[in-house]
Structure 1
Amino acid sequence: MTITIYHNPKCGTSRNTLEMIRKSGVEPDVIEYLKTPPKREELVDLIGRMGCSVRDLLRQKGTPYDELGLGEDKWSDDQLIDFMLEHPILINRPVVVSEKGVRLCRPSEKVMDLLPADLGSFTKEDGEVVSSGTAND
């Protein structure tokens, strides 16, 4: 199985998700999207495959979201995508792509149903133990 993760190594959720993928026996393609942002077509495709709105993929915390006024309803989806391309930190993470689907994996255990094998349980960086049964909670 091929898995791709759009990863930020400074993000605990992203690190946990990456480790869960590796624990499943897959070495994923890791795209550090802050260094290598997706192209417009790729970002639009990911959003469409996730079945979410553009706004659902916008990250607020630790980003220029407020400074840019992105909380206002005046922005079209195309404009919001332009902002994400100009400021990749606005793209929420981690986004994982596998043969089973595409998902924003927040919390990190949402990755479990995209993996080829049941992990059983996994201990996150903060000590929280999650199992496959909690993946969709």
Structure 2
Amino acid sequence: MPKKAATTDYPMTIYHKPNCSTSRNVLSLIRESGVEPEIVEYLQTPPSKKKLRELAAAMGLGARDLLRTKEAPYAELGLDDPKWTDDQLFGFIEQNPILLQRPIVVSPRGTLMCRPWARVREILPAA
């Protein structure tokens, strides 16, 4: 079966970390579906607190759900302490983008934290 020509008619955005295998797998599935997404390498271009709030709200998640707990800044900043508000946590992610759980994909069918990576299939264009 020939591969579909990539389209930008189905607007998708991936918050991507190129050396993360999960993120690479998600990007590959998006491209296999015939879509060429906007790629935001969030370590180079961190999302603002406002954008993080929007992404979390679109996924029905709180700030804690966006945190990568195994990254060094998580322990160094004491982010397991329940005293931190969502606003403060979004600020920590903005200042330390390595803390952002990945990959996050935005599509016309919804916004998802694509862990496990196969979850992206839920928001790909209909076949």
* TM-score relative to the length of structure 2: 0.89
The answer as to 2:81 corresponding to 1:72 is yes
Identity within the alignment, %: 53
Count matched residues.
Answer: 118
The answer as to 2:99 corresponding to 1:95 is no
Partner of 1:58: 67
Task: Report which of the two has the higher share of helix.
Answer: 2
Please identify runs of 4+ aligned residues in structure 1 that moved more than 3 A: none
Task: Look up the equivalent residue of 2:87 and give its one-letter code.
Answer: D
Aligned residue among 7, 21, 24 for 2:30:
21
**Which structure 1 residue ranges, 5 or more long, are not aligned?**
119-137
Offset at residue 53 of structure 1 (A): 1.2
Task: Look up the equivalent residue of 2:12 and give its one-letter code.
Answer: I
Offset at residue 63 of structure 1 (A): 3.5
Partner of 2:51: 42
**Which structure 2 residue ranges, 5 or more long, are not aligned?**
1-9
Residues 26-61 of structure 1 deviation map (CA, whole Å, 9 limit, x = unaligned): 011000000001122111111100101110110112
The answer as to 2:126 corresponding to 1:113 is no
